[in-house]
Structure 1
Amino acid sequence: MKWIDSHIHLDQYKKEEQLQLIEDIQKTKEIAAIIAVSMNDHSCQQTLELAKNYPFIYPALGYHPEQEVDFIQCEKICELIEKEAHRIAAIGEVGLPYYLRQENPKLLLEPYIEMLERFVYMAQKYNLPIILHAVYDDAEVVCDLLESYRIRRAHFHWFKGSQRTMERMIENEYYISVTPDIVYKEKIKDIVAFYPLSRLMVETDGPWKFNDEMTHPHMILQVLKSVSEVKGLVLEDTAETIYKNTVQFYNL
Structure 2
Amino acid sequence: MLLLYDAHVHLTDGEYSGYISHVISSLYAMKIVACSVAVDLETTKKSFRLFNDHKKVVRQFVGIHPEFAAREDLDKFVQVARENMASVDGIGEIGLDGTYEAERGVPYGRQKQVFCAMLALAESTGKPVSIHSRRSLDDILAILPSYRLQGALLHWFAGSKKQLAKSMEMGLYVSYGPALVYSEDKKVLLKHTQRDRFLVETDGPVRYSRCFEGKPALPTSFLPSVVASAAAVLGVTYGEAAEMTARNTEAFLGSQQL
* TM > 0.5: yes
The count of residues paired between Structure 1 and Structure 2 equals: 247
Q: Contact (CA 8 Å) 2:127, 2:150: kept in 1 or not?
A: no
Alpha-carbon distance between aligned partners in 2 of 1:207 and 1:124, rounded to the nearest angstrom:
29
Give the letter aligned to residue 19 of structure 2. Answer: E
Q: Contact (CA 8 Å) 1:152, 1:174: kept in 2 or not?
A: no
Q: Give the alignment partner of residue 230 of structure 2, picking from 227, 230, 244.
A: 227
Alpha-carbon distance between aligned partners in 2 of 1:26 and 1:232, rounded to the nearest angstrom:
29
Aligned to 2:147: 149
Alpha-carbon distance between aligned partners in 1 of 2:59 and 2:106, rounded to the nearest angstrom:
33
Aligned to 2:63: 62
Q: 1:25 to 1:107 in 2, by over 3 A?
A: closer
Question: Runs of 5+ in structure 2 lacking a partner?
Answer: none
C-alpha offsets along residues 138-181 of structure 1, whole Å, 9 cap, x if unaligned? 11111211101233511111111112211111011100111111
Alpha-carbon distance between aligned partners in 2 of 1:36 and 1:18, rounded to the nearest angstrom:
12
User: Is 1:246 aligned to residue 249 of structure 2?
Assistant: yes
Question: Runs of 5+ in structure 1 lacking a partner?
Answer: none
Q: Contact (CA 8 Å) 2:37, 2:62: kept in 1 or not?
A: yes
Question: % of aligned pairs identical?
Answer: 23
Q: 1:70 to 1:241 in 2, by over 3 A?
A: same
C-alpha offsets along residues 20-76 of structure 1, whole Å, 9 cap, x if unaligned? 2122223223x1x1111001100000011112122221111101112451351x222
Alpha-carbon distance between aligned partners in 2 of 1:111 and 1:45, rounded to the nearest angstrom:
23
List aligned pairs for 1:97-246, cutoff 5 A: 97-101=97-101, 103=103, 108-136=107-135, 138-151=136-149, 153-210=151-208, 211-218=213-220, 219-246=222-249
Give the letter aligned to residue 247 of structure 2. Answer: K
| RMSD of aligned residue pairs (Cα, Å) | 1.9
Q: Contact (CA 8 Å) 1:35, 1:60: kept in 2 or not?
A: yes
Aligned to 1:43: 43
Match of 2:5, SS? strand
C-alpha offsets along residues 191-216 of structure 1, whole Å, 9 cap, x if unaligned? 11111121011111111113312311
C-alpha offsets along residues 85-133 of structure 1, whole Å, 9 cap, x if unaligned? 23311000001123424636x8631111111010111111111101100
Q: Contact (CA 8 Å) 2:150, 2:254: kept in 1 or not?
A: no
How much does 1:230 deviate?
1.1
Q: Contact (CA 8 Å) 1:155, 1:175: kept in 2 or not?
A: yes
Match of 1:150, SS? coil
User: Is 1:21 aligned to residue 23 of structure 2?
Assistant: yes
Q: Contact (CA 8 Å) 1:202, 1:224: kept in 2 or not?
A: yes
Match of 1:151, SS? coil
Give the letter aligned to residue 113 of structure 1. Answer: K
Q: 1:152 to 1:162 in 2, by over 3 A?
A: farther
Match of 2:26, SS? helix
Q: 1:194 to 1:135 in 2, by over 3 A?
A: farther
Give the letter aligned to residue 189 of structure 2. Answer: I
Q: Contact (CA 8 Å) 1:120, 1:130: kept in 2 or not?
A: yes
Q: Contact (CA 8 Å) 1:35, 1:57: kept in 2 or not?
A: yes
Alpha-carbon distance between aligned partners in 2 of 1:150 and 1:165, rounded to the nearest angstrom:
20
Q: Contact (CA 8 Å) 1:61, 1:77: kept in 2 or not?
A: no
Alpha-carbon distance between aligned partners in 1 of 2:106 and 2:10, rounded to the nearest angstrom:
26
Aligned to 1:89: 89
